[in-house]
Structure 1
């Protein structure tokens, strides 16, 4: 298993190298980008996962059911979008869904291989104030970092009843810009009581410089958001996939610009 430092000094440089070349209007043809030529020169190398360093993880749209409100309107979902901090290594200063994180084991390698394990961990860290427990820095001393007794109160409440939250994988892709694999996911908190109990506890961690809230009923703002040029590529992929799926299962809580497109598709 490769270290985070090895990734940061090799594969993670690919996107920045390409963007720098485009910004400077220099060549991006084969032979012009040294790191890309070494790590990801062609499509065959993209698909040769066993022969290259391939990191990746989860990018999830989080949708939280809310009761009706005299100012906001009817029952909807709160959709969370983060503005990534300049301090993060990945997708810095872009829009992204939240949670977003690398897929990696903690202490139980087989159990932690589940995508849901990474999603739960990242939600606790990025939205509910949990101290980071991933393995990018330092060693683990806790035998079971995600034991119920160690979870934040909001996540513990959600996991006490399996009907309160659902997690779905809405897509999978190999990112041709970075070479990473991406699991696009949708996290839906179905129980409106969560918003009443813990809505005030939701706060992004240091990885975000800002947190935006969108109503799933705000068709116009969602249309503008989909066209925003500030998105990271994997962030837009996950947001569009998640919103499309939410349009299928959300009923009257959702007025999505993607619903009409799906209905008109052959």
Structure 2
């Protein structure tokens, strides 16, 4: 019936302690009077509740055709991160220990690998403009001071699903104190989430496919946005802390639901979106929902003139996301790109600069121990100077070698995430001469491309590529706009302008 101990006890007219004892002693046989009370409750239950009861006890018709779950059971037993997701699902959906494990194991055994790969391919074929148009139709393009971020570069139009406002753009905010002033309000997870039947089924399907396809799912602390105070040269706001599995089994499902609907040509039914993010009011109410997010940056590295390549420029790095990541799969994005989450210091690591420096180590300089999706973090201070890679030590050895700014902020309508669009600039040409050959993307990227800030034709063409993720295109456009202001003769691109809600 998906009731808590207290609500079920109230429904039966008995003490909550009695119901709790049934959980603690599942082999206990109730007295005859209590059996009659339970019989009456069963007779009054709906068909759906009876069917669920039969599934959970193994007495229903489906029990006769239950698939072989041995392989799935092994993965579920061996993976502590999947185990954490199952525990979360039991607490917020089934409220019966072990129920989620059984449901996920059976569903994983039914997953058709070929169909799963085909669905991933169909999702990849849905272009960025189709996503933006569908979300504009669902939410509208303009709401008071807020609207969808759009822009232009020469004759190339740019449209995104990022909800923003004028105060959140062209921030030119250095990512160091006191400008990067984000703080933490609480480190306790929010326990309020209760899943309905459809949301529970979607969460089970996500975990089942994760198990069957051997996709990485690492549970880790994740910042959740509670309030914002963002303006030019200032990042302010408060965060709480939640678990990544909460995000993976709720808000992160909205992207897949939308892409499947667009691939099928019918977006009239989006029940998860209707539940979690029904209107712009819900999008902007970041403290009233799970609002996770991240930071991503356009990286621009100065290069000297070259007899083959040409005049001095900045090299711009763009990645194609791999098929092993949970979101923005197979989409174009700037690099680095990462979730805003702590590793060991919950308070200090709220700063966006801390996230981007860590992501540079992980995604550009090849440090596996900075990647909490590969293994649990056991180091007390992963970013201690003695642990840094040689390129990062060189960048931090002298002030001014590494320039990091936040260029814009917005809320992505795809999953409701907050996005800190940023720019990383290395002006010293010596860096590329010394370390250009060791810059290498990690497993999150399928390919890594480079573009020159003197190649206006290809950069403009790139902005029109429909393979972009919305947050990636937002960060790319804002980053280029700021780079044109500070990059001098190395930047020879058409003027980039933005507008809201067009």
The two structures have a TM-score, normalised by structure 1, of: 0.93
Alignment map for 1:203-218 (pairs within 5 Å) = 203-218=440-455
* 1:62-141 matches, cutoff 5 A: 62-135=299-372, 139-141=376-378
Secondary structure of 1:186's partner?
strand
Residue in structure 2 matched with residue 7 of structure 1 by the alignment: 247
Q: Matches of residues 218-257 of structure 1 in structure 2 within 5 Å?
A: 218-257=455-494
1:189 aligned to 2:429? Answer: no
Q: Is residue 386 of structure 2 the alignment partner of residue 149 of structure 1?
A: yes
1:94–1:132 distance in 2 versus 1, CA, 3 Å? farther
Alignment partner for residue 281 of structure 2, among 44, 61, 67? 44
The question of 1:16 aligning with 2:253 is answered: no
Structure 1 residue 138: Cα displacement: 5.5
Separation in 1, partners of 2:393, 2:476: 26
SS in 2 for 1:231: coil
SS at match of 1:257: coil
Which of 201, 207, 213 matches 2:438?
A: 201
User: CA RMSD of the aligned region, Å?
Assistant: 1.4
- Structure 1 residue 197: Cα displacement: 0.3
Partner SS state of residue 108, structure 1:
coil
1:2 aligned counterpart, secondary structure: strand
Q: 1:132 to 1:207 in 2, by over 3 A?
A: farther
Paired residues of 1:243 and 1:258 also in contact (CA < 8 A):
no
8 Å CA contact 1:59–1:101 kept in 2: the answer is yes
Deviation digits for residues 43-102 of structure 1 (CA, Å, limit 9, x no counterpart): 111111122111101110000000000111111000000011011111100100000000
> Tell me, what secondary structure is at the counterpart of 2:297?
strand
| Secondary structure at 1:101 match in 2 | strand
| Cα distance in 2, alignment partners of residues 133 and 51 from structure 1 | 31
Following superposition, the deviation at residue 35 of structure 1 comes to 1.0
Aligned to 1:258: 495
Cross-structure match for 1:176: 413
Once structures 1 and 2 are overlaid, which stretch shifts more, 43-52 or 192-201?
43-52
Unaligned runs of 5+ residues in structure 2 are 1-240
Q: How far does the alpha carbon of each residue in 1:92-125 deviate from its partner, in whole angstroms, 9 at most, with x for none?
A: 0010000000011121122111110000000110
Distance 1:33 1:236, change over 3 A: same
Q: Residue deviations 1:156-195, cap 9 Å, x none? A: 1101112111000000000112100000000001111000
Q: Which has the higher contact order (CA 8 A, sep 6+)?
A: 1
1:79–1:60: structure 2 CA closer, same or farther, 3 Å change rule? same
Structure 1 residue 128: Cα displacement: 0.4
Runs of 4+ in 1 over 6 A off after TM superposition: none
Deviations 1:2-55 (A, max 9, x none): 211121111111111111111211133xxx211111110111111111221111
In structure 1, stretches of 5+ residues that fail to align are none
Q: Residues of 1 paired with 2:270 and 2:452: CA distance?
A: 42
Kindly indicate whether the alpha-carbon contact (under 8 Å) linking 1:106 and 1:134 is maintained by their aligned counterparts in 2: no
Task: Name which one, 1 or 2, has greater alpha-carbon Rg.
Answer: 2
Query: Alpha carbons of 1:147 and 1:176: their partners in 2 closer, same or farther (altered >3 Å)?
Result: same
Distance in 1 of aligned mates of 2:441 and 2:406: 22
